Amino acid sequence: MSKTIVNVRVTPKAKQAQVKVEDIDGLRVLKIYVTVAPEGGKANRAVMRVLSDYFDVPRTRIKLLSGATHRDKRFVIDAEITV
């Protein structure tokens, strides 16, 4: 099975959760809005749930590569997907 790296820009404490796809500096980036605050990894877990639903893959196949404490993050998804 192939692995796909997904670039994400997170906005915590949003009014509603949503996903938008944008090109930022030549990179395709998912802008993910989550309703939780960035405390104790809650926002990261919420982003993983959103990615799981968006790509229809189990959460166990999604890992955070970088950006645990930043709004720009990189995730690896153990599945063939297209962004």
pLDDT tens for each residue of 11-40: 999 999 999 999 988 889 999 999 999 999
Instruction: CATH number of the domain at 41, please.
Output: 3.30.1200.10
The DSSP string of 30-46 is EEEE-SS-SSTTHHHHH
pLDDT at 83 over 80: no
State the pTM of this model.
0.90
Number of domains forming the structure of the chain? 1
CA distances from 23 to 38, 41, 43, 45, 79 (A): 24, 26, 23, 24, 22
Asked if pLDDT for residue 1 goes beyond 80, the answer is: no
Looking at residue 44, its pLDDT comes to 95
pLDDT band of residue 67 (cuts 50, 70, 90) is very high
pLDDT at 49: 95
Per the domain annotation, does 83 fall within a domain? Answer: no
